[in-house]
Structure 1
Amino acid sequence: MGDKAHTHPGAAGRAQAADRPTSVRNVVLVGHSGSGKTTLVEALALTAGAANRAGRVEDGGTVSDYDDIEHRQQRSVQLSLVPVEWGGIKVNLLDTPGYADFVGELRAGLRAADAALFVVSAADGVDGSTRMVWDECAAVGMPRAIVVTHLEAARADFEEMTRICAETFGGDDPDAVLPVYLPLRGPEGPDGHTPVTGLIGLLTQKLFDYSSGERVESEPVGDHVPLIAEARGRLIEGIIAESEDETLMDRYLGGEDVDVKTLIEDLQRAVARGVFFPVLAAAPAAPGARQGLGTVELLDLITGGFPTPLEHGTPRVTTPDGRPRELKPCDPDAPLAAEVVKTSSDPYVGRLSLVRVFSGTLRADQTVHVSGHGLSDRGHEDHDVDERVGALSTPFGKQQRPVSHVIAGDLACVAKLGRAETGDTLSGKDDPLVMEPWEMPDPLLPLAIEAHSKADEDKLSQGLSRLVAEDPTMRLEQNPDTHQVVLWCLGEAHADVALERLRSRYGVQVDVVPHRVSLRETFGGKASGRGRHVKQSGGHGQFAICEIEVEPLPNGSGIEFVDKVVGGAVPRQFVPSVEKGIRAQAVKGVAAGHPLIDVRVTLLDGKAHSVDSSDAAFQTAGALALREAAADARIHLLEPVAEVSVLVGDDYVGPVMSDLSGRRGRVLGTEQSPGGRTLIRAEVPEIEIGRYAVDLRSLSHGTARFSRRYARHEPMPPQVAERVKEEARAAS
């Protein structure tokens, strides 16, 4: 790491399919929006020879050309794969969006990767969402390294940023987060700023100057020597503390000079085991330059220190009927077990599935079994079908380079899998398997939509089905109470991208309308009603009269019907007709058009005609009786109440609890959680938390999470209920 001679690899940098798992590294880039992940990927591709000095691939487009929406919105909105080759190793760089609304793409990248590269801006620091992802990686033992970017910013301070990273990511062991290079600064400019022109290798004690556009190695002189000595001693102690050689620390403290080769090997092993987290620096190449600052060192770390897919293991695998299945990790000759980590649509190729092969070998034109992912509650169909694989390719920008097969440990794109969706498992048709799905965030921001025109209405259903097939973090709801089509999203940016994709990709224009919650109605006290349906118009007429009493019941009782007619005032065959009419009217509502619940309706009396009475007449009379009872009664509007759990940093507990109270919420209690966080449990009317996903993110600076589930319906406050009734009357 740092002492190798490097030459421009040219065409060798353009990675194809790997020939063995040990020649693959799968790395996901993590960091907040604007931290420089995509720029870093392009710089690595340039250094590896996969792109030219203009950042363009050989057959057109740039490394980051992946989605037109990303160009319009000037931010990454989806996971993208950029494969490069370095020193005979294929490196699959998985670039993830940094914006919280696209955390589903981030989780897909974490699933497909074997190690994570945390990209931190020297100018902006570490945000709360990045800290949470670090904790997730720590929980599963994923190896990690840190790259500090934006060193050219006036307020950038590499040393301070390194200290912050050690405090933030090091936990109880800040010496596990240490720089392996220090910035080499050039002469002070007219503005007093000293630009970073290269790196100082702490282990090799070499200077690597990038100021000429080429990486030039030299020996340290002058002030560099004491600077190296202090930082190098701490780094060596940090490496030795995590060494598998338990005698090394005693030998080092005893004055033995540990050779550089041993230190580098121990560093690489500690990184691969996920117990040491090196900090590096990187910057894009200057115009006309061939290598970006720190990119050579970073590629060396990835290929030398990050684990191979053999060391990652395979997610839990079962047969479709749930029986556990053991597979040898990452064996190209084992049964096929692959997973769709991303689904997208290409205007020329059609549907493209980005697949990580965990076991076996996937071949072009092979017939595979597609098993569902258990997200039917989000509008995603579970699958259990055979499909023929189309062409296999490795992506680079908007280009697809054909490959004949993909071995265990590698990633590639699969064309024309018409039924497979993100999260589905691909396996042998004669040996179907299902992988345990990764955790998906719950979409909690509702977006109610309507087709803009009749032409759009005809295309809406197909467009929506394709949209949710691509994005398992989106939930499609056809609400039977409000009759609205609702897309549940992770945030406003997620919703904007969904609408844009419907319009530009699927040709469907929709209008966003106010989202309505499922209200209910009930009686506030006893009431009586008389339903009289008498008509005579030649031939058989219509005659039915019934008298009822309505009284409220406890929450959750539904509609109860009681027959207390005596003397045959309502013939026995027409009593069910009265009940049917009452229940039909209850579904329509009696005040503001919302279903009536939790009442007992008692049929007391009525009249019939020997010729003109009928089933239909008594149904109508029953409905009329219920409406008349409601006209003279207090009708309560019931609103759904949700149980809400908010996990928030201790610093924001007060503001969050105050905000919940302002939403008519009742705080039920709090619990301390690990990591300086508090779990707040509350009950809040659903009408008050339609935009809570957005508001909570703003309130907590993106560090809080919440979940919700329906608890019950309960009466609205009179002033709120009256406003809803007025709106209903105005709309009718």
Structure 2
Amino acid sequence: MGDKAHTHPGAAGRAPTADRPASLRNVALVGHSGSGKTTLVEALALTAGAVNRAGRVEDGTTVSDYDEMEHRRRRSVQLSLVPVEWDGCKINLLDTPGYADFTGELRAGLRAADAALFVVSAAQEAEALAGANRTVWEECAAAGLPRAIVVTHLDTARTGFDEMTRVCARIFGGEDPDAVLPLCLPVHGAEGPDGHAPATGLVGLLPRKVFDYSSGERRETAPDPRQAALLEEARNRLIEGIVSESEDETLMDRYLGGGELGPEALTEDLEKAVARGVFHPVLAAAPAPPGGRHGLGTVELLELITSGFPTPLERPAPAVTTPEGVPRPAVHCDPDGPLVAEVVKTASDPYVGRMSLVRVFSGTLRPDDTVHVSGHGLTDRGHEDHDVEERIGTLSSPFGKQQRVLPHCTAGDLACVGKLSRAETGDTLSARDDPLLMAPWPQPDPLLPLAVEAHSKADEDRLSQGLARLVAEDPTMRLEQNPDTGQIVLWCLGEAHRDVALDRLRNRYGVQVDAVPYRVALRETFGASGAGRGRHVKQSGGHGQFAICEIEVDPLPPGSGVEFVDKVVGGAVPRQFVASVEKGVRAQAARGVAAGRPLVDIRVTLLDGKAHSVDSSDAAFQTAGALALREAAGEAPVHLLEPVAEVLVLVPDEYVGPVMSDLSGRRGRVVGTEPAGPGRTLVRAEAPELEIGRYAVDLRSVSHGTGRFSRSYARHEPMPPAPAERIREQDQVMA
């Protein structure tokens, strides 16, 4: 693994380009928040010559200068792309957010990538991060991506590299811990005043070489006797791991027979095992020292990416159909094939407008082409299906705040497309004469409600447009106009996701909004039969108003709605006014009779009434019907009904007890549990929606970030007296 030749795209002021899929590598950097992904991207860009020694692009910005909000929050909240070149290959580094609230951005990055670098920080408690890291690892496995592990922050390590490697093998190796082994061991320098000896180099196990990074420039040396003795045991275990995963059965025979396996054969087999996703090498990395160019392990990482990670040619593309759903033959990564590309991210730039990050799976995308845009079927989240044609604007490659113009984007590559006014995240771009639609990637369900109101009259005019642009960028967000409460609700993935949505509305779209308490759709019903008499008699000169009706109200089973029965005899209420009584009753039921919530599951029977030949009217009998229903409610108990949700919680076995206890504390009922794969349990429960408004946040705390849940409406049922009284008191305060 020598220091190979590489180009300096940053110094040359041009965007890295690739005309052949074989010279492309698309790599997602994933891992828990704070693991050092963005810092590692900057270190790789410096080593590859994409930035200068100060880590700056020509305009003085860094490769991490994407979004002012990220700087304010000191946390990545969106997918970003940094292209670099190494050993004749263009490497698209996709920096993904590590926080669980931005799983949608993570999955978009995995969709665009062909392999993943899993970044783990030695400065964080390994055991505490095990759950969250395992969840992200499973996301990568579900996407079928080969993975390598990178240990960062060795300069401030709480956990040594050897111990971190063992933890990773236990967490990620599953039944085969030998599938997670180090390729290099860190070499430590002199011990500092704090008692910590920083890593200054690496010992390459296969080539038996020391790579010294202490000066900021990588130098190769032979190991001294002490280093040689340390590496042999790790080297033998690494060889056994490689041989056991090899497709070449003769390699195992040679090894067991005591034959010497050369570094070239082992390296070639290692690369194949990594590309197949059956072996996950562990490496170490750190930024370059001041004035240096090579950060610890960055050369080894770039070499692993170019030689061990698959090209787009080796990864099957998602299935395609026509927009009508007719299956089509699989597409292949062929620059001369039919155009099939996908929008993996949508963003708004205050200067250039909407920008779409596109991954081309087949064909070649060129500026000024007219393409067909196929919708993605997320109408429940505010994204309408569409089949439209749009013209491709400028193609560019992002680098920090720069956008470097590209002449084209070939199969396997990624590019930013400007001003696609209709295309949204998840949409497919294809040829006009052969429209296609790619199978969508799964989006996490937003389960944390955020009710918003315009801050002022001027904001009301901009609110709908701002919300539409917000959900167009983020398919993990669902926009709802609640028909029961009248609230505008943004469903988010968590509190950080919610805060980002509010920030973007205010600072990017210029809409000032107020977050207001989310109202659950409560209802009312009669607890027993009641009777009422509605009398509306007024005389004020000219035609007066005269209407009298008598009704009886009976409770019905849940889900019955409001029934109206006419049992008037003898024409006491003229035929033309019976419908008026019903209209008044239903209008009053919609407004509620006790707590201002819709009244449901009742039968209203019209028994008798009186009319006047001149003063009776439609309006008068509507009013009488409403008055009769309100009087009946005063005679019978009225129960408050709350919605109950069916909740499915998927957690590791060790958290089943805490989850069930937490649900019981929310007035929930555990219906049952069942195995859901190795070490996982599915908990089925029913819980009032009033008690699970923050469950998307609270479950992470209970399960240490490992739990997932879904919810669906089950029914409305009577609320217990104590919480019902609290709701009535709150309504009185608000009134």
Interval containing the TM-score (normalised by the shorter chain): over 0.9
Moved more, 184-193 or 279-288: 184-193
Cα deviation per residue 1:460-514 (whole Å; 9 max; x = unaligned)?
Answer: 1111110111111111111111111111111111111111111110111111111
Does residue 111 of structure 1 match 2:114? no
Task: Return the letter of the residue paired with 1:517.
Answer: V
Does residue 241 of structure 1 match 2:244? yes
Which residue number corresponds to residue 23 of structure 1? 23
Instruction: Give 1:310 deviation, angstroms.
Output: 0.9
Which residue number corresponds to residue 34 of structure 1? 34
8 Å contact from structure 1 (residues 150, 156) kept in 2? no
Equivalenced residues, count? 731
Moved more, 191-200 or 82-91: 191-200
Aligned partner of 2:477 among 471, 474, 477: 474
Which residue number corresponds to residue 656 of structure 1? 659
8 Å contact from structure 1 (residues 14, 83) kept in 2? no
Moved more, 603-612 or 188-197: 188-197
Instruction: Give 1:675 deviation, angstroms.
Output: 3.1
Instruction: Give 1:137 deviation, angstroms.
Output: 2.6
8 Å contact from structure 2 (residues 47, 295) kept in 1? yes
Task: Return the letter of the residue paired with 1:96.
Answer: T
Instruction: Give 1:6 deviation, angstroms.
Output: 4.8
SS at match of 2:572: coil
Which residue number corresponds to residue 70 of structure 2? 70
8 Å contact from structure 2 (residues 215, 289) kept in 1? no
Moved more, 39-48 or 722-731: 722-731
Task: Return the letter of the residue paired with 1:518.
Answer: A
| C-alpha RMSD of the superposition | 1.3
Equivalent-residue separation in structure 1 for 2:182 and 2:270 (angstroms) = 12
Does residue 572 of structure 1 match 2:575? yes
Which residue number corresponds to residue 100 of structure 1? 100
8 Å contact from structure 1 (residues 13, 86) kept in 2? no
- Relative to structure 1, is the Cα distance of residues 191 and 722 closer, same or farther in structure 2, using a 3 angstrom cutoff? closer
Which residue number corresponds to residue 606 of structure 1? 609
Task: Return the letter of the residue paired with 1:92.
Answer: N
Equivalent-residue separation in structure 2 for 1:13 and 1:645 (angstroms) = 53
Equivalent-residue separation in structure 2 for 1:198 and 1:722 (angstroms) = 68
SS at match of 1:613: coil
Moved more, 93-102 or 531-540: 531-540
Does residue 3 of structure 1 match 2:2? yes
8 Å contact from structure 1 (residues 32, 127) kept in 2? no
Task: Return the letter of the residue paired with 1:235.
Answer: L
8 Å contact from structure 1 (residues 665, 683) kept in 2? yes
Cα deviation per residue 1:312-368 (whole Å; 9 max; x = unaligned)?
Answer: 111111101110111331111111111111111111110001111111111111111
8 Å contact from structure 2 (residues 118, 150) kept in 1? yes
Aligned partner of 1:169 among 146, 167, 172: 172
Does residue 380 of structure 1 match 2:383? yes
Does residue 634 of structure 1 match 2:637? yes
Which residue number corresponds to residue 501 of structure 1? 504
Which residue number corresponds to residue 120 of structure 2? 120
Instruction: Give 1:43 deviation, angstroms.
Output: 0.2
SS at match of 1:111: helix
Cα deviation per residue 1:71-110 (whole Å; 9 max; x = unaligned)?
Answer: 0001100000000010110000000111111111001101
Which residue number corresponds to residue 422 of structure 1? 425
Moved more, 184-193 or 521-530: 184-193
Does residue 221 of structure 1 match 2:220? no
Instruction: Give 1:12 deviation, angstroms.
Output: 6.8
Aligned partner of 1:518 among 518, 521, 524: 521
8 Å contact from structure 1 (residues 188, 194) kept in 2? yes
8 Å contact from structure 1 (residues 14, 50) kept in 2? no
Instruction: Give 1:533 deviation, angstroms.
Output: 1.3
Please list every run of 5 or more consecutive structure 1 residues that lacks an aligned counterpart in the other structure: none
8 Å contact from structure 1 (residues 12, 49) kept in 2? no
Equivalent-residue separation in structure 2 for 1:568 and 1:247 (angstroms) = 100
Aligned partner of 1:399 among 391, 398, 402: 402
- Relative to structure 1, is the Cα distance of residues 450 and 651 closer, same or farther in structure 2, using a 3 angstrom cutoff? same
Which residue number corresponds to residue 549 of structure 1? 552
TM-score by length of 1: 0.98
8 Å contact from structure 2 (residues 6, 88) kept in 1? no
Equivalent-residue separation in structure 2 for 1:666 and 1:5 (angstroms) = 62
Equivalent-residue separation in structure 2 for 1:7 and 1:590 (angstroms) = 76
Please list every run of 5 or more consecutive structure 2 residues that lacks an aligned counterpart in the other structure: none
Does residue 211 of structure 1 match 2:188? no
Instruction: Give 1:37 deviation, angstroms.
Output: 0.2
Moved more, 643-652 or 43-52: 643-652
Equivalent-residue separation in structure 2 for 1:134 and 1:192 (angstroms) = 33
Instruction: Give 1:138 deviation, angstroms.
Output: 2.6
8 Å contact from structure 2 (residues 343, 428) kept in 1? yes
Cα deviation per residue 1:26-55 (whole Å; 9 max; x = unaligned)?
Answer: 000111011000000000000000011111
Equivalent-residue separation in structure 1 for 2:194 and 2:580 (angstroms) = 89
Equivalent-residue separation in structure 1 for 2:264 and 2:555 (angstroms) = 82
Does residue 337 of structure 1 match 2:340? yes
Instruction: Give 1:389 deviation, angstroms.
Output: 1.4
8 Å contact from structure 2 (residues 455, 513) kept in 1? yes
Equivalent-residue separation in structure 2 for 1:24 and 1:460 (angstroms) = 42
Instruction: Give 1:257 deviation, angstroms.
Output: 1.2
8 Å contact from structure 2 (residues 319, 330) kept in 1? no
Moved more, 543-552 or 58-67: 58-67
Which residue number corresponds to residue 365 of structure 1? 368
8 Å contact from structure 1 (residues 13, 48) kept in 2? no
Task: Return the letter of the residue paired with 2:42.
Answer: E
Task: Return the letter of the residue paired with 2:270.
Answer: L
Instruction: Give 1:5 deviation, angstroms.
Output: 4.5
Equivalent-residue separation in structure 2 for 1:421 and 1:20 (angstroms) = 27
- Relative to structure 1, is the Cα distance of residues 610 and 616 closer, same or farther in structure 2, using a 3 angstrom cutoff? same
Equivalent-residue separation in structure 2 for 1:184 and 1:12 (angstroms) = 34
Equivalent-residue separation in structure 2 for 1:279 and 1:166 (angstroms) = 9
| Identity value in percent | 77
Equivalent-residue separation in structure 1 for 2:3 and 2:295 (angstroms) = 17
Cα deviation per residue 1:149-168 (whole Å; 9 max; x = unaligned)?
Answer: 01101524001111111111
Does residue 349 of structure 1 match 2:352? yes
Instruction: Give 1:139 deviation, angstroms.
Output: 3.8
Aligned partner of 1:152 among 149, 155, 158: 155
Equivalent-residue separation in structure 2 for 1:8 and 1:216 (angstroms) = 19
TM-score by length of 2: 0.98
SS at match of 2:155: coil
